Amino acid sequence: MKTSTQTTVGTREVGQLVRGQPTSDGDGVRLTRVIGGRSLSDLDPFLMLDEFGSDSASDYIGGFPSHPHRGFETVTYMLEGRMRHRDNQGNEGLLVPGSVQWMTAGRGIIHSEMPEQEEGRMRGFQLWVNLPAKDKMTAPRYQDIAPERIPLVRGADGSEVRVIAGTHTNGAGTVTQGPVEGIATDPLYFDVALPKGAHFEHSLPAGHSAFIYVFEGQASIGARAGRAVRGDLAVLTDGEQVSVVADAAPARFILVAGRPLREPVVKYGPFVMNTRAQIVQAVDDYSAGRFV
Ligand code: FE2
């Protein structure tokens, strides 16, 4: 029986449409900040979403030289191009097209993310996911996921879903598990490609924050057919189901959802903590070389 305390159920609609702003970060890397900028400062637990994409080496060649992180997770999804990752604990890895790095910075890492190419296209996303207060000082952890470990689910209508995190269940009940595991906010991260006329439908936990970012073509979202075109981020209303149709053109988008933390957020550059005192501590620890 329904009670008055139940949250919204049903299909998620477009609650807000956001366009990112062009900016630069690292050593002059040009990118579009979609979450974490002026139009959408955050979407708990998501602190930042950057899209990068350029054919011109001058837009990315500077890369992201050595810099710290504490208190959250960085998720890099490469669509095209190659990026070399190194940190202060001797970890090293190469991000290749289709790969994902889910890095839990925890109490602190210092790393660099540098292009491993001098020409050609570089394209992808970096998402920042907050950590709950109890995990902010956890040991750093990497999940480096090669492209072949990301399952691709094909639908009869030509739709393709790359399951990076979370569980995909198709209409016939076949379950496909994404390779990313053990993340506090219980995230779902799908890359969905729809040919014109194809349809994507999936359940999402009610109460989880969710967004769709369209990076190719355009799509119609929800029962009210909210339109999102390339470069639009649609913040979804609450509900249990998401429904997207590529009614006018092919579409490719990421669908990301996660459990909101509802904890205080104090950000200072690459440090995201719960209090100002913890930020002061992070700056002190970094300056004193205690990020080891
Ligand atoms: Fe970083």
From the CA of 102, how far away is ligand 1's center (Å)?
11
What pLDDT is recorded for position 6? 47
From the CA of 109, how far away is ligand 1's center (Å)?
9
pLDDT digits 0-9 by tens, 151-184: 999 999 999 999 999 999 998 999 999 999 999 9
| Contact status, residue 143 vs residue 102, Cβ threshold 8 Å | yes
| Confidence grade of residue 292 (pLDDT, cut at 50, 70, 90) | confident
From the CA of 1, how far away is ligand 1's center (Å)?
48
Rounded to the nearest 5°, which phi and psi values hold at 38? -70, -35
From the CA of 69, how far away is ligand 1's center (Å)?
7
From the CA of 52, how far away is ligand 1's center (Å)?
14
From the CA of 35, how far away is ligand 1's center (Å)?
16
Average predicted confidence (pLDDT) for the chain: 95
Q: Which residues pair with 51 in a beta bridge?
A: 32, 125
From the CA of 30, how far away is ligand 1's center (Å)?
15
| Confidence grade of residue 9 (pLDDT, cut at 50, 70, 90) | low
What pLDDT is recorded for position 1? 46
From the CA of 91, how far away is ligand 1's center (Å)?
14
From the CA of 8, how far away is ligand 1's center (Å)?
36
From the CA of 67, how far away is ligand 1's center (Å)?
6
| Confidence grade of residue 3 (pLDDT, cut at 50, 70, 90) | very low
pLDDT digits 0-9 by tens, 127-147: 999 999 999 999 999 999 999
From the CA of 286, how far away is ligand 1's center (Å)?
14
Burial track 68-106 (b if 16+ CB lie within 10 A, e otherwise): bbbbbbbbbbbbebbbebebbeeeebebeebbbbbbbbb
What pLDDT is recorded for position 89? 87
From the CA of 113, how far away is ligand 1's center (Å)?
7
CA distances from 137 to 72, 106, 186, 231 (A): 9, 5, 19, 35
Output DSSP code: residue 180.
B
Domains of the chain: 14-287 (2.60.120.10)
pLDDT digits 0-9 by tens, 198-223: 999 999 999 999 999 999 999 999 99
pLDDT digits 0-9 by tens, 21-70: 999 999 999 999 999 998 899 999 999 999 999 999 999 999 999 999 99
| Confidence grade of residue 7 (pLDDT, cut at 50, 70, 90) | very low
